Structure 1
Amino acid sequence: MTRLRVVVAGTAFGRIYLDAVRAAPEDFELTGILARGSDFSRDLAAREGVPVYTAPDQVPDADIACVVVRSGATGGPGTDLARAFLRRGIHVLQEHPVHTGEIAETLRVARQADAAYAVNTLYHDIEPVRRFITAARALHREQGLAYLDAACNSQVAYPLLDVLGRITATLRPWAFGPADDVPADVGAASETAQPFRTLHAAIGGIPVTLRVQNQVHPEDADNHSYLLHRISAGAEGGVLSLADTHGPVLWNPRLHSRRDGTGRLVMSGPGTERLAVPTTSVLGGEPGTYHEVFAGLWPRAVLRSLRRLAGDITEPARRVHSGQWALAVSRAWSDLTAALGVPELIRPGEPAELPMAVLS
C-alpha cells in the first residue's frame, strides 16, 4: 500500500499529530507543516525535515491534512482551513470541538470534492478509555446499564459525550435537564465558589448524572482542571469505573449476601462464595506518568484516528456514518453547553505540587 502523505496544520497540540505520523512510517509520510511562520514552527519543521507553509494554497499535493487549529467554536480559523484543503480533494482530520453548523457545511464541501472528512474527538481512542468502553459495552450487553455517572471539565465535555455514546452504541435519545443551582445557604457556607455544576441527563436512553467543572482560565484554557474525565457505569452485578482519562479501569462487584433465619446477613461459610472476590479489581495495566501520556498514549490515539480516516478514504461508504456521528456528538454538546451556561472565568496561580508520600 502506498504511504499517505500528511501535512499537519498547527504546532501546539499539532505536535502530538507529528509524533503520531512519525510512529507509523509504513502507513504515513509527513510532507509539511502549516503554521503562521513563527521561529518555533520553522525550527520544528527543520527538525522534522519538512517545509513549513503559511497558507493552504502553498501546500503541494497531499493526501491528508490534519487540522489542529481552533475551529470557529473556539474562535479560530480551523474550519476555514479544513474546507480549503477539502476543496482541493485533500482528505481532512479536524481536531474537536466543532460546531454542528460548521460540520454540516464542511461535510457538504467534502462530498462535492469526493473527499473524506472526520472530526477527531481523541479521547475515546486513548487506551484506558478504550478498555473502559469495551468493558462497559460487555456490562451493558450482559445486564443492561442502570446508570452512568460522569464528571469532567467543561473543556473536555465534547469528547465525554462521544465516549458515553460509544458505551451505549448511540447518543439518541439524549436529553439534558437544567444545571442545579447552588443553594444560597450552601454558597454562603463555602469559602470559595462551587467549581462543579450538576445536572441529570439521558444518553442513549440510559440515565446519566453529570458533574461539570464549568470554569476556564481565559489565558490558559489547557490548565486548571481538577480532572479530565471520570466515569462510572452501574449495573446489577457491580460498578465499572474509569478513575481518570488515563486509567486505571476498576471493577467493583456488587456487595450482596443472603440472610439467615434471624434476618442477619450471612458473612461467611457455605453459600457466600460471591463474597470471595476482591472488592476492587484493576482491568489492564497501571497508569503511567504524564510524560508517557504525551509521548505515547496521545500519539497512539491520534494514529488510530488517522488509520480510521484512511479506511474512510479507501471505503467511501463509511463516510456517511462518520459524518452522522460527528453531527450527533456536536449537537449533544451544544445542548449540554446551553444547559450549563457560560463558564465561569477563573485566574488561579500555578497549582502547588503534592508528593504522594504526604498522603501515606
Structure 2
Amino acid sequence: MAEASQHSRRIVVAGSTFGQMYLTALRRCHPDTVVIGLLARGSDRSQRIADAHGVPLLTSADDVPDDTDLVCVIVRADSIGGSGTTLAAKFLEKGISVLHELPASTKDVTTCLRAARRCGARFAVADLYHWLPAVRVFRAAARELLSFDRPLAIDAYLSIQPAYALARLLTEIGLSLRPVSLKPSQDGKLISGALDGTPVAVRYATVLDACDSDNDVRFPSVSVHTSTGTLTLAGVHGPVFWIPTLHLSGKAKNGTGYEGEGLVKTAASTELFRSNHTHAEIFTDLWPTAIASQITAMFDEASHADAQRMIQVARLWEDLTGGAEFPAAEEGAADSAQRVLLQDRLRAAAKSAVGVSHISEKDEDSR
C-alpha cells in the first residue's frame, strides 16, 4: 500500500476473514485512500494476510490511530453473536466513521447511529450486493415497472445468510412497505404475508456447511409480479429477466391478427442483464469493485446512507427472518469437482431435451 499523505483518507480494516476482500477492494479506491492497518486478533494467519497486503497488523482497538478516517468493521454484529457493534461504537465515540458488516439489527443500527450523531462521525451498514451490476439493473427496472403498474405479488428464494440484502432491495424498488404483516410457517422455511397489502412469500432453502456457516450461500432470487408481467432477478449476479403476460387483441382471439404490432414487438421474454461470470471472477473482480464503490460512497455527502432508511432495512430484515429456520450444519457437501461435473451434466441434459444448445459457443468457451 502507498504511504499516507497529508490529504489521504486513512482506513483501517477490522476483521481478517472477509476483511481480506476489503483489503483487495481498497486498491481500487481513489489514489488518496490508504489502508493504515489490519485490526485482528494476532494469529499467524492474520499476520500473513497483513504482510501480503503490505499493511501493519493491529491487535487492539486502542492501536487504531485517532486520526483514522474510516474503520471497516467486517465483524459480526453483537445481535448475531459477534462483537462488531461494540467495536463500531468504540470507534464512532472517537469521531471515526464506520462501515459495519451486514446484517445489523435495529438495536445494532440505533446504537451506532446515536454514537455517530453524538461525535460527528458517519455510519453505514455494508452491503456489497447493492452495488453489483445485476442488482442495480433489477432495482432500476423494478422502479420503472412499479411506476407504471401496481405489484400483485412478490416472491423470493434464498438461504438465510443474505436475507439482509433482500430486505434492503425491497426497500429500494418503489414498494410501499408499511404495514408489515409477515408470519413464519410451522417449519420455518417460509415467511409469508403482505407488505402494505401486496402478497409476499419468502422461501428459505438453507444448507449450512459444518466447516463454514458462510459457505453454500443461496443468494436472493426475487420476482415482482404485476398485471403486465413478471420481473425476475435470478441471483445477485444475474441474470435479470422480464417476462410479459400474454396479451391477445380481439383479432387474435378470433384466430386472426397474430401479426399485429403488439404480438410482433413484444418478446416472450427479455434478458435485461446477462450473467456469464465465473465464481473466480466474482471474487477477484465483481465483489472488490462493489466494495470499493461503497467505501467511496462513505466519503460522498450526497450518497451518505440515510439513518431512517437503515433503520427501515433493519426492521424489515427482522420481519423477514423472525421465526425462520436455521438448520443444523451438514457434512459431506459436494466438492468443487462434483459441482463442475453437475454443471456439465445439466448442460448435456438441456441440449438433449431440444436438440440444440441455447448457450452460445462463446459462452461455453468463456467458462
TM-score band (shorter)?
0.7 to 0.9
Q: How do residues 158-197 of structure 1 correspond to structure 2 at under 5 angstroms?
A: 158-168=164-174, 171-179=177-185, 181=186, 197=189
CA distance in 2, matches of 1:122, 1:203: 25
Residue 278 of structure 1 and its aligned partner are, at CA, apart by 2.5
Shift of 1:215: 4.9
Quick check: 1:7–1:65 contact (8 Å CA) kept in 2? yes
For 2:329 and 2:35, the matched residues in 1 are separated by 38
Match of 1:298 in 2: 287
In the alignment, is residue 311 of structure 1 matched against residue 300 of structure 2?
Answer: yes
State the alpha-carbon separation in 2 of the partners of residues 346 and 265 from structure 1. 57
For residues 229-281 of structure 1, the C-alpha deviation after alignment (integer angstroms, 9 at most, x for no partner) is 111112232211111111011111221113459x6554723x35324433222
Q: Does 1:221 align with 2:213?
A: yes
Written as runs of structure 1 = structure 2, the 5 A alignment for 1:1-360 is 2-60=7-65, 61-168=67-174, 171-179=177-185, 181=186, 197-203=189-195, 206-217=198-209, 219-225=211-217, 227-260=218-251, 264=254, 266=256, 268-269=258-259, 271=260, 273-312=262-301, 322-340=306-324, 342-351=325-334, 352-353=338-339, 354-356=342-344, 357-359=347-349, 360=351
Query: How far apart are the structure 2 equivalents of 1:81 and 1:32?
Result: 15
Q: 1:266 to 1:32 in 2, by over 3 A?
A: farther
Contact 1:154–1:214 (8 Å) recurs in 2 = yes
1:162 is displaced (CA, Å) by 0.8
Structure 1 position 134, deviation (Å): 0.6
Shift of 1:120: 1.1
State whether residues 171 and 328 of structure 1, in contact with CA within 8 Å, keep that contact through their aligned partners in structure 2. Answer: no
Name the CA shift for 1:28/1:202 in 2 (closer, same or farther; >3 Å). Answer: farther
Aligned-partner Cα distance in 2 for 1:27–1:144: 45
String of CA shifts for 1:38-73, please: whole Å, max 9, x gaps.
122112212222111011110123100000011112
Look up the equivalent residue of 1:160 and give its one-letter code. L
For 1:349, give the aligned amino acid: G
Give how far 1:90 is off.
0.8
Contact 2:74–2:101 (Cα < 8 Å) also in 1: yes
Contact 1:165 1:203 in 2 (8 A): no
Using structure 2 for the length normalisation, give the TM-score. Answer: 0.84
The one-character-per-residue Cα deviations of 1:273-307 (angstroms, maximum 9, x if unpaired) are 32443322211343311111111111122122212
Q: In 2, distance between residues paired with 1:144 and 1:201? A: 17
Identity of aligned residues (%): 35
Report the residue type matching 1:258 in the other structure.
S
Cα distance in 2, alignment partners of residues 25 and 130 from structure 1: 22
- In structure 2, do the counterparts of structure 1 residues 327 and 242 end up closer, same or farther at CA, with 3 Å as the change threshold? same
Specify the alignment match of 1:186 in structure 2. none
8 Å Cα contact 1:259-1:265 kept in structure 2: no
Report the aligned-residue RMSD.
Answer: 2.4
The count of aligned residue pairs is 337
Instruction: Give yes or no for contact 1:168–1:204 (8 Å, CA) kept in 2.
Output: no
Q: In 2, Cα distance between the equivalents of 1:45 and 1:87?
A: 26
> Distance between the aligned counterparts of 1:3 and 1:144, measured in 2?
47
SS in 2 for 1:344: coil
Paired with 2:196 and 2:276, the residues of 1 have a C-alpha distance of 29
How far the C-alpha of 1:92 sits from its partner, in A, is: 0.2
Instruction: Give, in angstroms, the shift of residue 201 of structure 1.
Output: 2.9
Segments of structure 1 that go 5 or more residues without pairing to the other structure are: 183-195
Letter in 2 for 1:355: Q
Contact 2:72-2:98 at 8 Å conserved across structures:
yes
Give the residue type in structure 2 aligned to 1:347: E
